[in-house]
Amino acid sequence: MNENRRDDYLEHIRQAASDALIFVEGLNKDEFAEDKRTQQAVIMSLIIIGEAATKIMDRYPEFTVENAQVPWRSMRGMRNRIAHGYFDINLDVVWETVQVALPALLKSLPTAQG
């Protein structure tokens, strides 16, 4: 399959993770808990990350095996929990994801093959 498309999905993940980090910049956990607009923006970023990860997993399974340092299943799982349990989103988990998992994710993503 087309590597350019795969690289597009990787860029979507990279951009959405970076956006989420920017959205919470300067906020503490309590401020985040009170800021519905920022919550929605971060949650949408997590959905984008999960969708792109799912596309890569489905279309480029060998690539995900070669890049096992990337938490593909976790990204897909987070997206599914948000999409299917939208009214039960745990903001503590969302906050922890942005603070810990997304910076680690950005470091683990492979660079584009161009």
Residues recognised as catalytic: 79, 84
109's tokens: 């993503």
Quick one: which of 109, 93, 99 has its CA closest to 21?
Answer: 99
- Cα 73 from Cα 9, distance rounded (Å): 15
- Cα 80 from Cα 83, distance rounded (Å): 5
Alpha carbon distances (Å) from 71 to 14, 49, 104, 113: 13, 11, 10, 19
Whose tokens are 């300067």? That residue is 26
